[in-house]
Every structure is written in structure tokens, then in C-alpha cells.
Amino acid sequence: MKTTTVSDAQTRAVGRRLASLLRPNDVLLLCGPLGSGKTAFVAGLAEGLGIDEPVTSPSFVIARRYDGGFIPLVHADVYRLGSLNEVLDLDLFDEARDAVLAIEWGDAVAGAIPGEYLRIVIDVTGDEERQITFEPHGTSWAPRPFQDVLS
């Protein structure tokens, strides 16, 4: 399940549309190289969740919580953490039980979390071209209508 975007705004729009499929306790793992658009995607997601605050990269604080929308959003970036234990010590999953949890550089934790998550891979295919792939993992994700989001 994939789509191609050719601008930051289009990547945000994919994130915005995904919001309508989400519920509390959902986990999104964002994967893709530096500057591929992971934060842009989450910014769009926040808009779609009805959050008015602008989303900025949480690199230095590791995680930020936004409570203003229909569902709270916890946005984490685990790039700077040295080990899986440091990530697990954050208790992100507990903190986000009532929220959507979006983790940039999420592959770092994929092996250590419960099997229900949506992996979102952003590949850089040109200056402004990105291929965005959704990989649903687990039974709660499989039936959701991703076609509406990716078209």
C-alpha cells in the first residue's frame, strides 16, 4: 500500500487523512532517512486530529504530548537515544495509552513492542518526491480502509 508525494504539503495531507482512521492506543512507527518528511507527516496527522498547536521536531525533548484534539497525540523521536533500553525507559507506551503514539526512527523499537502497529516508511525518490508505504502489523490494523488515505 503506497503513494507518492511531490511536496511537503502533499505528505502532510496524507498524514491528515490518516487521522480519520486512528483511535486511542494506536502506535505508528515512522521510518525513513534524515529529512525524508517524518515530522511533516506527523504535523499533518496532528491537523487531522484537530490539534491547533504547530508540531515541531521533538528531537531534543524526545517526546511531546498534544492534548488539544479529538484524540491526544504523543510524538516521539528516538534518534538520539543510544539503546533500546533508553527508549523503553521512557514509558512512552504507558503514557500514550489514551493517545495516538507516533515514533520517528521507530524501527529502533519495532522488535520490542506488542505486535499491533502501523509502520510508515518514507523513501526519498527525488528532490521533492517521496514514496510513502503503509505496512499494517496486527489484526486491529488489517481491516482499516487505507486506500482512502493513500489515494
Q: Which residues, numbered 48-107, are part of the site for ligand ATP (CB under 6 A)?
A: 57, 77, 104
- Nearest CA-CA partner of 120 in 139, 145, 103: 103
Q: CB of residue 55 vs ligand ATP: minimum separation in angstroms?
A: 10
CA dist., res. 100 & res. 85, Å (int): 22
Nearest residue to Mg ion by CB is 39
Q: Which residues, numbered 103-122, are part of the site for Mg ion (CB under 5 A)?
A: 104
What is the edge-to-edge ordering of all strands in the sheet holding 117-124?
Answer: 2-5, 130-137, 117-124, 27-31, 100-104, 73-77, 63-66
Q: CB of residue 30 vs ligand ATP: minimum separation in angstroms?
A: 7
Q: CB of residue 66 vs ligand ATP: minimum separation in angstroms?
A: 16
User: Which residues bind to ligand ATP, rule: CB under 6 A?
Assistant: 5-8, 10-11, 32, 34-40, 57, 77, 104, 128, 130
